[in-house]
Amino acid sequence: LVVGIKACPSIRKLDLAENSLGPRGAGYLSTILDSKTSLVGLDISVNLIRDEGANAIIESLVHTPNQPISWLNLSENSLSDFSAPNIASLIRMSANLTHLDISRNDFQNDGIRLLADELALCSNLRHLNLSNVQLDSNVVEHFTLRLGQN
């Protein structure tokens, strides 16, 4: 699959949702993202890529010059606070990112606070899905205060 995707440089949206990629498959996918300079949408939701796979993909996106990705779905992948710094980096570094779905993951309060701090500085993100990440009232307050600064 990776070879086929790499051979097609004009792919603009790639939907690999619900394919059991796991961390290893996400690692393979990350190796070709730097050649996808026309990719604007990536859906890898419901693949149990965990932090290891998410971090590999995000690092590839962040380190690709002029990465046009505007839509990224990482929902339901067993991501935790260990992914939060890289997701924050993606938010900060990707000027085109307008839609981010990180719902139905295992973030805790510290990870969400870190993301909220980054979002306070972000002007391009228009849609953020955090449904089913078990936010407590303190985190919601922090999130609201930080977003109010933007």
Q: What is the pLDDT of residues 10-67, one digit of tens each?
A: 889 999 999 999 999 999 999 988 777 788 999 999 999 999 999 999 999 998 877 7
Q: How do beta strands 13-15 and 41-43 pair?
A: parallel
From residue 56, give the alpha-carbon distance in Å to each of 49, 140, 145.
Answer: 10, 29, 31
Rounded Cα–Cα distance for residues 35 and 9 (Å): 7
pTM above 0.85, yes or no: yes
**Tens digit of pLDDT for each residue in 83-121?**
999 999 999 988 899 999 999 999 988 898 898 888 878
Tell me the average pLDDT across 121-134: 86
As a whole number of angstroms, the distance between CA 42 and CA 15 comes to 6
Query: Position 118: which residue type?
Result: E
CB 21 within 8 A of CB 49: yes
Q: How far apart are CA 128 and CA 96, in angstroms?
A: 14
d(CA 29, CA 4): 11
How far apart are the C-alpha atoms of 105 and 126, rounded to whole Å?
A: 20
